[in-house]
Amino acid sequence: MSADRTLAPFGRRRAVVVSERRVGAYSILELADRDGPAPQPGQFYMLAAGAGWGAGEDERPFLPRAFSAMGGAGGTLWFMLETVGPGTRRLATLRKGEAVWALGPLGRPFARPEDGRRALLCGGGIGLPPLVFLSGALRDAGLDAVLQLGFRDAAHAQVAAGFAGAQLATDDGSVGHHGLVTDLLAAELDADPHAVVYACGPPGMLEAVRRLCVARDVPGRLALEAGMACGYGACFGCVVPLAGGGYARVCVDGPVMEAAALAEIPAA
Amino acid sequence: MSADRTLAPFGRRRAVVVSERRVGAYSILELADRDGPAPQPGQFYMLAAGAGWGAGEDERPFLPRAFSAMGGAGGTLWFMLETVGPGTRRLATLRKGEAVWALGPLGRPFARPEDGRRALLCGGGIGLPPLVFLSGALRDAGLDAVLQLGFRDAAHAQVAAGFAGAQLATDDGSVGHHGLVTDLLAAELDADPHAVVYACGPPGMLEAVRRLCVARDVPGRLALEAGMACGYGACFGCVVPLAGGGYARVCVDGPVMEAAALAEIPAA
Amino acid sequence: MSPVAFCGLELAHPVLNGSGTFDAIAARRVFGDALLAAFPFSAFVSKTITLAPRDGNPPPRLWEAAAGMLNSIGLPNKGLQRYLAEDLPQLAQLPVPLVTNVMGANAAELCALVEACDARGEIAALELNVSCPNVATGLDLGADPASLAPVLREVRPLTRKPLIVKLTPNTADVARVAQAAEAEGADAVSLINTLRGMAAHPDGSGRPWLGGGRGGLSGPALRPVALAQVAAVAERVAIPIVGMGGIQTAAHARQFLAAGATLVAVGTESFRDPTVAGRLGLALADLAAQSGTAAP
Amino acid sequence: MSPVAFCGLELAHPVLNGSGTFDAIAARRVFGDALLAAFPFSAFVSKTITLAPRDGNPPPRLWEAAAGMLNSIGLPNKGLQRYLAEDLPQLAQLPVPLVTNVMGANAAELCALVEACDARGEIAALELNVSCPNVATGLDLGADPASLAPVLREVRPLTRKPLIVKLTPNTADVARVAQAAEAEGADAVSLINTLRGMAAHPDGSGRPWLGGGRGGLSGPALRPVALAQVAAVAERVAIPIVGMGGIQTAAHARQFLAAGATLVAVGTESFRDPTVAGRLGLALADLAAQSGTAAP
Ligand SMILES: Cc1cc2nc3c(=O)[nH]c(=O)nc-3n(C[C@H](O)[C@H](O)[C@H](O)COP(=O)(O)OP(=O)(O)OC[C@H]3O[C@@H](n4cnc5c(N)ncnc54)[C@H](O)[C@@H]3O)c2cc1C
Ligand SMILES: Cc1cc2nc3c(=O)[nH]c(=O)nc-3n(C[C@H](O)[C@H](O)[C@H](O)COP(=O)(O)OP(=O)(O)OC[C@H]3O[C@@H](n4cnc5c(N)ncnc54)[C@H](O)[C@@H]3O)c2cc1C
Ligand SMILES: Cc1cc2nc3c(=O)[nH]c(=O)nc-3n(C[C@H](O)[C@H](O)[C@H](O)COP(=O)(O)O)c2cc1C
Ligand SMILES: Cc1cc2nc3c(=O)[nH]c(=O)nc-3n(C[C@H](O)[C@H](O)[C@H](O)COP(=O)(O)O)c2cc1C
Ligand code: FES
Ligand code: FES
């Protein structure tokens, strides 16, 4: 893994669905992307179904949708989707052999841990994919990582069964710690502050992580989300406010941003 | 069969695809429409796929599409489709068990032959469905009918194999008479002018039939087509010019119109 | 059902039809009296009526667009006299109040139309179409407050029935026009009418597809434009607003009500689903009663 | 490839980007030099530049609409000085001519922008944005010939580079505004910019979704409106037209060319497919050469 982004080929490609399966509340989508380079943890793709894109509620989806790579190697890409609207609904009904338009890999990946710091990976719900990808890459690089995952309930937590050794938290206490995944993070930082935090999840959770990192002066790398039209810096639509004023585009300046660089993360 | 229209239930219904099969250049679509009344020959339905309507070329189809009943009894409806654009393309890819929105039966059906006149049924290409329906209804009523069908070529004519006794013509001479189906009609009228003509087909063919009928003073009933938005008289979009000036709405004043009432039929 | 008050009328729910998008007389031929039993709209708005009869535009009159359609119907109608003589008795059989929509090429024509309609008890309210994009006169009148105001000044005194002015969206600042309508005594405004649009013939010749040349865009494609115009007008006038443009669902209708409309109208979506407005009405009736969006 | 002549520039094909819909500098970070090897546009139009730097509007800035989208970006940019100092050297590396789009709140600002750009050889042509719906000044200026003309009269003499005026579609008669631009010496006009629109928050509260309140509608939803406006302008001016609004395919582009445009621009469709404009350019290059749509 490196801190530089892997460049995207110029142009969207027709990838093919290898498999699509449901795990609890989520779908796992496996795509054959033979001509594309392997992504790095933190990078994402803009995806759209090859057919039937545009006939959902309110005559949508029209634009492609952003999804973090959950893994990628040897011409295969993995994604994890939560169905929340017409775009994810369409993608979650794709069948083996059907086509998907893919543009990517996009965005700046996670930078490596520095100064021998311990990597704390803290994910909430659908924020899991880039962290799972990262934890594998760190392991491959011979580095240690703590993986902490928070979910709404057991149905959502089911997907975590695949990731041995992860610390779990659920809002309803049905699995693991009863409470927020950021409680787990605070506990790890209490135990040993010589760490670097990697986080992805809903805005409220990321804001909590950002505050923790800033308050304790620990480096934090947050993989952000924002509504996107293009994913490659063209539309200026996907901005987050910066600590120093002004905005950054999540798609080209992120999605991974340093906690210290960010102002309060706006609620969705 | 009667000259009065069968009323449509107020509201579109979810019909279910019983079967969909290709015959040469056309598709035959069979729908279960349990709650709908049986249509009469000449009546039509507005159809739209229950899902995936709106994601074809140019982000269409948006409006439902008009299709003549090719038959209807006991809660089952038959249609024959030619794929010419996004609406027919979507309908032709429906699978058994999928839903179709159906509004109908709509429009004024064919009136019975009067004065003991012989019924000459003359259809071009996709104009076939209402005539096939009519020929069966006449037979059931103990009346004789001559069925003449014209097609572009053998691939299109293939569908006529199901209708025993039909006279055929093809543009390329590959099946039946080499030339226009209206040649066959003129020959029948030469042989015995005490007839009533029922016709459906492309505008040029209908215009030729209209002229034949008017010139020979033979009653002619033409099932017209026109671009439609609603099918029930709401939009005033589907008009044809009348002999006496002004326009009639094809969906409520037709689709079956008397040849003598019409001005020149405009090319598509 | 909870009645909604609108310009002195008591309506069962807040959903009308857009003028020219539902022909109750034709629909009764097609659906029979089932139409009356489940009439979808809380008031029926007639197609635009003109002084003289009009054949309308030559076909083709329709073009399907992305998430919408263009029409170039050209206001076909029987003319005032035959409308009053033939259609009114039939429309009086509808279970809801009747709004008659009229258009005149100038003030004199509009005055004649309004006077004649004022005399008829079957008509509950009048809507002035100063916004139709298919006919040059309608466009010019409603695009500019300075040309609309003097016309309304002549027309307004001729009737005590509620007078709704249907605004054109093809203007730089629709709220200014709405303010002029309010100042000249309009009881309500309705918007939006169709956006001026054009479709090229698919044969690639470059000539227009529609027989009338240009047409009017309607349907979901223009819903964001409609919502913005309704919100802009609501910020500047106190009279009630009939909001329309691309409404398909109760959620859409609620957005228009929240933006300041008292009533909404469904046009194009009725072509796809003729009973949709009735379902929206049912869904919205309680909401309207609770939230007090109803105007005096 | 067959060059297309436009205001003295020789372009490889007739397809540009719409201002603000492609950031060549960001795209090079994402795609690397592959971008330069297959640059999709025959000239590159910058995002709108203003005199002072602008942060742009608070998020959310995007809303997906039926067959289109609303944006409320708010013209974020570095301001003139940093654009000239930092961006121009990078944009000069593009394999195509550069059009710089500028907006000023008044004539004085526009004059300063145009004078500064005139001095820079990297800039091949200027586009004046008098049409942005997100900023009050841009709207007022371009909606009315009477306010546009005096501004152009001041600005025009300040540069000999081709001057394109980007018109606002939010006006009653865009052709009148185009005529005013022609009369005041514009070398070309471009249209359409986005239509004013609004989206309600999905939480049902009635507040607007977009951080900036109102937004601008773009994409296929408005293509019929764009085509009608291009055709209306082409009937009334002799200067070349850059037509845009919802173009997705070569067939769409041809419709704009047939309606009277010399060039076309792709905006929103590039978000869905970043290389689409290059494919359209390839498909249209021969057509443009043959049909002589190229203007002198
Ligand atoms: C870098 C990045 C990585 C991501 N990774 C993942 C991932 O790995 N897995 C995953 O499941 N998701 C991921 N997402 C989120 C995903 O892109 C969105 O959930 C997706 O866009 C939803 O599309 P939809 O059509 O299903 O839902 P939408 O209808 O688009 O609704 C999603 C949200 O958008 C808002 N919204 C609703 N309607 C509109 C509208 N008309 N216009 C604009 N916004 C609207 C609402 O807040 C709604 O909750 C990622 C996003 C980013 C930016
Ligand atoms: C009463 C009646 C009965 C009919 N019965 C049958 C039948 O039994 N079987 C059958 O196959 N067909 C029948 N039709 C014709 C059928 O309705 C049309 O072929 C259908 O609407 C095509 O839809 P589409 O989306 O596939 O093609 P479209 O894309 O709609 O193209 C069809 C034609 O419409 C025009 N067109 C193209 N683009 C547009 C546009 N954007 N807007 C408007 N027009 C456009 C062109 O002339 C084109 O050739 C009938 C029509 C009527 C009115
Ligand atoms: C086919 C058609 C015909 C119309 N005719 C009229 C009319 O006669 N008078 C009028 O004021 N508006 C007319 N309109 C405009 C509608 O009443 C309505 O303002 C517009 O279509 C926007 O609403 P919608 O998107 O729900 O259709 C017509 C619209 C359509 C689509
Ligand atoms: C996200 C976005 C940003 C835009 N920014 C600008 C801008 O800065 N200056 C400008 O003149 N037009 C701007 N436009 C308008 C486009 O250049 C174009 O006129 C419009 O989007 C219509 O074309 P389309 O439908 O192909 O997108 C913007 C459009 C979009 C969608
Ligand atoms: S999504 Fe378009 S700039 Fe980021
Ligand atoms: S299709 Fe609407 S009136 Fe005939």
> Atom 27 (ligand 1): residue with closest C-alpha?
A85
**D138, pLDDT greater than 80:** no
Alpha-carbon distance of C237 to A185, in angstroms, equals 54
Cα dist from C253 to C4, C150, C228, C287, whole Å: 15, 33, 14, 11
A52 touches chain B (CB under 8 A): yes
Name residue B105's amino acid. P
Q: Is B7 a domain residue?
A: no
In sequence order, what are the beta bridge partners of C5? C10
Q: How far is the CA of D222 from the centre of ligand 4 (A)?
A: 12
Distance CA C67, CA D68 (A): 9
Of B42, B77, B106, which closes a domain?
B106
* Count: domains in chain B: 2
Residues B36 and B100 in one domain: yes
Find the chain B residues whose C-beta atoms sit closer than 8 A to any C-beta of C: 5, 7-12, 48, 54, 58-64, 101, 103, 106, 226-230, 232-241, 245-247, 249, 252, 266
Question: Which atom of ligand 3 lies at the shortest distance from residue C246's CA?
Answer: 25
Residue in A88, A224, A252, A256 to alter for ligand 1 test, most ligand atoms within 8 A of Cβ: A88
CB of B54 less than 8 A from some CB of A? yes
Q: How far is the CA of D60 from the centre of ligand 5 (A)?
A: 12
What CATH code is carried by the domain that includes residue A154? 3.40.50.80
pLDDT at D287 over 80: no
pLDDT for C146 equals 87
Which residue segments constitute the domains of chain C, with CATH numbers given?
Answer: 4-291 (3.20.20.70)
CB of residue A87 inside a 6 A radius of ligand 1? yes
Ligand 3 atom nearest C194 alpha carbon: 20
* Nearest Cα residue in chain B from A53: B55
Q: Do A97 and A128 reside in the same domain of the chain?
A: no
DSSP H or E run through A68? strand A65-68
Q: Is residue B73 one of the residues assigned to a domain?
A: yes
Exposed/middle/buried for residue C112 (C-beta within 10 Å: 0-12, 13-18, 19+): middle
| Whole-number CA gyration radius for chain D | 18
| pLDDT for the residue A1 | 47
> Measuring from atom 30 of ligand 2, which residue has the nearest CA?
B85
Residues A8-21: pLDDT tens digits?
Answer: 999 999 999 999 99
| Residue C63 near chain D (CB below 8 Å) | yes
Cβ atoms within 10 Å of C10's Cβ, excluding its own: 11
Tell me which of A106, A129, A154 is where a domain ends.
A106
Task: Note the pLDDT tens digit of each residue in C148-206.
Answer: 999 999 999 999 999 999 999 999 999 999 999 999 999 999 999 999 999 999 998 88
Q: Write out the catalytic residue numbers of D.
A: 132
What does the alpha-carbon distance between residue D289 and residue B168 come to, in Å, rounded to a whole number? 48
| C64: amino acid identity, one letter | E
> Under an 8 A CB cutoff, do B10 and C69 touch?
no
Alpha-carbon separation of residue D59 from A236, B221, C269, D249 (angstroms): 10, 62, 32, 31
Residue A48's Cβ-side half-sphere holds a number of Cα atoms within 13 Å equal to 24
Would the pLDDT of D133 be above 50?
no
B154 located within any domain: yes
Give, using CA atoms, the residue closest to atom 52 of ligand 2: B225
Cis-peptide into B255, omega within 30 deg: yes
pLDDT digits (tens, 9 = 90+) for B43-68: 999 999 999 999 999 999 999 999 99
pLDDT in tens, D229-273: 999 999 999 999 999 999 999 999 999 999 999 999 999 999 999
> What interface predicted TM-score (ipTM) does this complex get?
0.97
* Token couple for B157: 């004519």
Q: Check whether residue A89 and residue A124 sit in a common domain.
A: no
| A216: its two tokens | 């304790």
Determine the structural domain holding residue B22 and report its residue range: 13-106
- pLDDT class for C106, splitting at 50, 70, 90? confident
Q: CA nearest D241: which of D250, D251, D249, D231?
A: D231
Question: What are the backbone dihedrals phi and psi of residue A160, each rounded to the nearest 5 degrees, phi first?
Answer: -75, -15
Average pLDDT estimate for C211-233:
97
Residue D145: pLDDT over 70: yes
Residue A8 covered by a domain: no
Pocket-forming residues, ligand 6, beta carbon under 6 Å: B 228-231, 233-238, 249, 251
Tell if the CB–CB gap between D224 and C251 is shorter than 8 Å.
Answer: no
Give the position of tokens 């497919």.
Answer: D273
> A84: Cβ below 6 Å to ligand 1?
yes
Residues forming a β-bridge with D16: D265
What pLDDT, on a 0 to 100 scale, did the predictor assign at position A189?
A: 96
- Mean pLDDT across chain B: 95
**A47 has a pLDDT exceeding 70:** yes
On whether both A126 and A93 belong to a single domain, the answer is no
Contact D208, D200 (CB under 8 A): yes
In whole angstroms, what is the distance from residue D180 CA to residue D198 CA? Answer: 30
- Measured between alpha carbons, how far is residue C273 from residues B9, B108, C94, C279 in Å? 12, 21, 20, 11
Residues in chain D: 296
* Residue A210: band (very low, low, confident or very high) from pLDDT cuts 50, 70, 90: very high
**Which helix H or strand E contains B211, and what residues bound it?**
helix B203-216
Ligand 1 proximity of A68 Cβ (cutoff 6 Å): yes
Mean pLDDT along residues B246-263: 98
State the pLDDT at residue B39.
98
Interatomic CA distance for residues B32 and A172, integer angstroms: 46
Burial class (CB in 10 A: 0-12, 13-18, 19+), B267: exposed
CA distance A44 to D30: 12
**Nearest-angstrom CA–CA distance, A236 and A254:** 13
pLDDT for position B1: 47
3-class secondary structure, A202: coil
- Give the Å distance between the CA of C27 and the centre of ligand 6: 10
Inform me whether the pLDDT recorded for C292 exceeds 60.
Answer: no
Minimal CA separation from B1 to chain A, in Å? 39
- The finding on whether A235 has its CB within 6 A of some atom of ligand 4 is yes
Q: Which of D38, D56, D66 sits opposite A236 (nearest CB)?
A: D56
Which of C82, D220, D247, D41 shows the shortest CA–CA distance to B54?
Answer: D220
A125 and A250 share one domain: yes
Q: If you measure CA to CA, which chain D residue comes closest to C143?
A: D172
Express each pLDDT in C108-138 by its tens digit.
Answer: 999 999 999 999 999 999 999 987 544 444 4
Residue D144 backbone phi and psi in degrees, to 5: -140, 120
Q: Which residues of B touch D249 (CB under 8 A)?
A: 58
CA A192 distance to own-chain centroid: 25
Whether residue A229 has its Cβ less than 6 Å from ligand 5: yes
Neighbour-count burial of C32, counting CB atoms closer than 10 A to its CB (0-12 exposed, 13-18 middle, 19+ buried): middle
A-B contacts (CB, under 8 Å): 16
D3: its two tokens: 């060059």
Residues 6+ apart with CB under 8 A from D69: A62, A63, A229, D62, D63, D217, D218, D219, D268, D271
Query: In the structure encoding, which two tokens stand for residue A122, read together?
Result: 């803290």
Average pLDDT across chain D, whole number: 93
Ligand 6 atom showing the smallest separation from residue B249 Cα: 4
**How far apart, in whole angstroms, are the C-alpha atoms of residue A20 and residue B46?**
35
Residue A88 shares a structural domain with residue A218: no
Which residue from B40, B43, B68 has its CB within 8 A of the most atoms of ligand 2, so it is best to mutate?
A: B68
Cis peptide before A37 (omega within 30 of 0): no
Residues A102-153: tens digit of each pLDDT: 999 999 999 999 989 999 999 999 999 999 999 999 999 999 899 999 999 9
CA D155/CA B186 separation, integer angstroms? 73
**DSSP code for B35:** T
Is A6 inside any structural domain? no
Quick: pLDDT tens for B218-232: 999 999 999 999 999
Residue of B nearest to D221 (CA): B59
Question: Ligand 4 centroid vs D16 CA: distance in angstroms?
Answer: 12
- Please report whether residue B209 resides in a domain: yes
pLDDT at D79: 98
Our answer on whether the CB atom of C201 is closer than 6 Å to any ligand 2 atom is no
Q: How far apart are CA A174 and CA A186, in angstroms?
A: 21
Residues A171 and A55 in one domain: no
Residue in the block written with tokens 């009635």 = D206
- A215-255 pLDDT per residue, tens: 999 999 999 999 999 999 999 999 999 999 999 999 999 99
Give the residue, by CA position, lying nearest to ligand 2 atom 34: B227
Based on its alpha-carbon atoms, the radius of gyration of chain C, rounded to whole angstroms, reads 18
- For the residues of D79-137, what is the DSSP string, one character each? -HHHIIIIIHHHHTTSSS-EEEEE--SSHHHHHHHHHHHHT-TT--EEEEE---TTSHH
Chain D partners (3+ C-beta pairs within 8 A): A, B, C
Residues A147 and A213 in one domain: yes
Band the pLDDT of B213: cuts 50, 70, 90: very high
Mean pLDDT of D8-22: 97
Alpha carbon separation from D267 to B247, D137, D264 (Å, rounded):
41, 23, 10
- Six token digits for residue B114: 């009067």
Report the CATH number that the domain containing residue A42 is assigned in CATH: 2.40.30.10
CB contacts of B58 in chain D (<8 Å) are 220, 248-249
Q: Which residue of C has its CA nearest to B102?
A: C273
Residue A221 bridge partners (DSSP): A198, A258
Q: Find the chain A residues whose C-beta atoms sit closer than 8 A to any C-beta of C.
A: 58-59
> What average pLDDT does this structure show over D13-23?
98
- For chain C, the average pLDDT equals 93
pLDDT > 90: percent of chain D: 86
Q: Tell me the chain C residues in contact with residue B240 when contact means C-beta distances shorter than 8 Å.
A: 59
> What does the alpha-carbon distance between residue C47 and residue C59 come to, in Å, rounded to a whole number?
19
Q: Which residue has the tokens 């995806």?
A: A47
pLDDT in tens, D158-168: 999 999 999 99
Inform me whether the pLDDT recorded for D40 exceeds 50. yes
Same domain, B152 and B102: no
Predicted confidence at residue B40, as pLDDT, reads 98
pLDDT mean over A85-90:
97
SS3 sequence, chain D? CCCEEECCEEECCCEEECCCCCCHHHHHHHHCCHHHHCCCCCCEECCCECCCCECCCCCCCEEEECCEEEECCCCCECCHHHHHHHHHHHHCCCCCCEEEEECCCCHHHHHHHHHHHHCCCCCCEEEEECCCCCCHHHHHHHHCHHHHHHHHHHHHHHCCCCEEEECCCCCCCHHHHHHHHHHCCCCEEEECCCEEECCECCCCCCCECCCCCCEEEECHHHHHHHHHHHHHHHCCCCCCEEEECCCCCHHHHHHHHHCCCCEEEECHHHHHCCCHHHHHHHHHHHHHHHHCCCCC
Q: Output the CA A233–ligand 5 centroid distance in Å.
A: 4
Q: Is the domain of A95 the same as that of A122? A: no
Same domain for A50 and A100, yes or no, is yes
Residues C39-70: tens digit of each pLDDT: 999 999 999 999 999 999 999 999 999 999 99
Confidence of residue C296 (pLDDT cuts 50, 70, 90): very low
Neighbouring chains of C at 3+ CB pairs under 8 Å are A, B, D
- Tell me the per-residue pLDDT of B119-176, one tens digit each, with 9 for 90 and over: 999 999 999 999 999 999 999 999 989 999 999 999 999 998 888 789 999 999 999 9
Say how many Å lie between the first and final Cα of chain D, rounded: 18
pLDDT band of D140, cuts 50, 70, 90: low
Establish whether residue D19 lines the binding site of ligand 4, counting it when its CB lies within 6 angstroms of any ligand atom.
yes
Q: What DSSP letter does each residue of chain A carry, written as one string?
A: --SSPPPPPSS-EEEEEEEEEEETTEEEEEEE-TTSPPP-TT-EEEEEESS-TT-SGGG---S-EEEE-SEEETTEEEEEEE--SHHHHHHTT--TT-EEEEEEEESB-PPPP-TTPEEEEEEEGGGHHHHHHHHHHHHHTT--EEEEEEESSHHHHGGGGGSTT-EEEETTSSSSEES-HHHHHHHHHHH---EEEEEES-HHHHHHHHHHHHHHT--EEEE-----SSSSSSS--SEEEBTTSSEEEHHHH-BEEEGGGB-PPPP-
Instruction: Starting from the CA of residue D271, give the closest ligand.
Output: 5
Hey, which residues of C are catalytic here?
Answer: 132
Task: Decide if B8 is inside a domain.
Answer: no
Q: Specify whether B140 is located in the same domain as B72.
A: no
| pLDDT, tens digit, 9 for 90 and up, residues A174-199 | 999 999 999 999 999 999 999 999 99
Domain membership flag for residue A1: no
Cβ-proximal residues to D129 (8 Å cutoff; 6+ apart), any chain: D19, D48, D101, D102, D103, D138, D166, D193
Q: Whose CA is nearest to atom 31 of ligand 1?
A: A85
- Domain stops at, among A72, A106, A140: A106
Q: Is B154 helix (H, G, I), strand (E, B) or coil?
A: helix
Residues of C with CB under 8 A from a CB of A: 67, 220, 248-249
- Residue B88 CA: nearest ligand 2 atom is 26
Report CA(A70)–ligand 5 centroid distance (Å): 21
Which residues on chain C are in Cβ contact (under 8 Å) with B44? Answer: none
